[in-house]
Amino acid sequence: MDSVTVRVPAKVNLQLAVGPLRDDGYHDLVNVFHAVSIFDEVTATAKVGMSVRVEGESADQVPEDGENLAIKAAFALAGHAGRSYGVNLLIRKSIPVAGGMAGGSADAAAALVACNELWGLGLPLEDLMEIAADIGSDVPFALLGGTAVGTGRGERLTPLKVEGDFHWVFALADGGLSTATVYAECDRLREATGERVAWPRAAEPLLAALREGDAETLGAELRNDLQPAAVMLRGSLARTLKAGREHGALGSLVSGSGPTCAFLARSESHAGELAASLKDAGVARDVITAHGPVPGPVIV
């Protein structure tokens, strides 16, 4: 086998409850991840040495060196196997770059699956999940897909059963936001306002809405503790979120650390209408529709 291609979805966080800052610089979370139908593709081709190339949407903003999460994943997998394997990774981006939709984590997960196959390692998902957690907090979920609750720094996962499909609209912003900067801004705001930071808990009504396929309740329960920080760093997001509410979204929130905004619609046709209204309102660089949950990485 000379090459393996893996298709991998983006995620949106339905609840992101951020606990106190830990000694290791991370925050304990309750992070309800939901994989949606916006996909990157990663092709792993056998060669001597390791290299990565990025094509597509905002490709120029993705590093093509050792900082790239997909190549980090390839190195980590080769290290785990104790062999000096080589690979070229070609990443075709559709997931917004630094957009709060875990695009880099998705590419890392896809690289793990592709290289596991290309190099004939046959490692089970549990082993890949352990390697994934060392690459980034969101990479284990990117291997899993579907809908899941993450605890710890987001890497300890419990899959959730979800009834039916949910229909989403995503408003993409110009330029990205750094995850570390948004968490630091969240800490700064909490300090400045003297907010008492509670231990993060999963919202039971949100979990019930997912189990029952109740979009109305899910919309009302969407919550992201990083949102005030993302809006503080990117003031224009307040207008984007307001436009979604005014045009009939069941719920609106910043996705992860932003700046992508997510809007829940009643149905596929409602998502189409909402996307058209948001485009007309001129509150985003681009507006796309997607559905979730979708499965994790798939070899194509």
Examine the residue annotation and report whether 225 is marked as an active-site residue of this protein.
Answer: no
- The pairs formed by 16-20 with CB atoms below 8 angstroms and a separation of 24 or more are 16/223, 16/224, 16/225, 16/226, 16/256, 17/200, 17/201, 17/202, 17/203, 17/223, 17/225, 18/183, 18/186, 18/197, 18/200, 18/225, 18/226, 19/197, 19/198, 19/199, 19/200, 20/197, 20/199
Shortest spacing between CB 89 and ligand C5P, in angstroms:
19
- Comparing CA positions, the residue from 217, 296, 234 lying closest to residue 99 is 234
Binding string, 233-272, against ligand C5P, x = CB under 6 A?
Answer: ----------------------------------------
Shortest spacing between CB 252 and ligand C5P, in angstroms:
23
**Is residue 107 part of the contact set for ligand C5P (CB under 6 A)?**
no
Between residue 26 and residue 65, which ones bind ligand C5P under the rule CB under 6 A? 26-27, 29
Catalytic residue among 28, 107, 138, 214: 138
Examine the residue annotation and report whether 138 is marked as an active-site residue of this protein.
Answer: yes
Strand partners for 299: 6
Token pair 């075709």 is found at 92
Residue type, 290: A
Binding string, 162-201, against ligand C5P, x = CB under 6 A?
Answer: -----------------xx--x------------------
- Report the alpha-carbon distance of residue 102 to residue 262 in Å, rounded: 14
In the numeric block, which tokens belong to residue 257?
A: 């650390």
Shortest spacing between CB 103 and ligand C5P, in angstroms:
12
Kindly tell me which residue out of 154, 219, 251, 256 binds ligand C5P, with binding defined by CB under 6 A.
154
- Report the alpha-carbon distance of residue 67 to residue 72 in Å, rounded: 7
Shortest spacing between CB 61 and ligand C5P, in angstroms:
17
Determine the size of the site formed for ligand C5P (CB under 6 A).
12
Kindly tell me which residue out of 153, 190, 247, 270 binds ligand C5P, with binding defined by CB under 6 A.
153
- The residues binding ligand C5P (CB under 6 A) are 25-27, 29, 136-138, 153-154, 179-180, 183
Residues carrying an active site annotation: 11, 138
